[in-house]
Structure 1
C-alpha cells in the first residue's frame, strides 16, 4: 500500500481489499496485481521478488523497540 501511495495510485487500500477479500491470495494473483500497477518497472521487479519469508517490513525494528512504547508487564503504553 505504501508503494501505491508513493506513486500516487488512488485508493490503494480499496485496491488491496478488492484483491484479497473473500478469496485466497496466490502467487499468481499477486503477480497479476503487481504487473497491473502503474509504477516504474524497477519497482514492479522489486515487489515481484518479495516473499512472506524475505519481507518483514517494520517488524524487526518494532520488536526491538517495543519496550519504548509498551510496558510489557501491565500492557499500558509508556508516555
Structure 2
C-alpha cells in the first residue's frame, strides 16, 4: 500500500509505502515422524514502512530521445 505526492512544481516526489499490513507473510509447516506430529508457524518481521524523497535537478523540460530530430533527418529533408 503506498501514497505518492509531487511537490515543488513536480521537481520533487514524496512516497510513503507500507508492506505486509495484515501480517500475512507466514511460513507454516506440518511434519509427521512416527508418533510425533509437529506443526510450526513462522511469522517474520516483514512489516515495513518506507518514506522516500527524490528531487530532480536540472532542466525537467528536456525533449525525450524519440521527439528529437537527428542531423541525418535534417540532411535528408534538404535533398
TM-score by length of 2: 0.20
Task: From the CA coordinates, give the structure whose radius of gyration is larger.
Answer: 2
Which structure carries more helix by proportion?
1
TM-score where L is the length of structure 1? 0.20
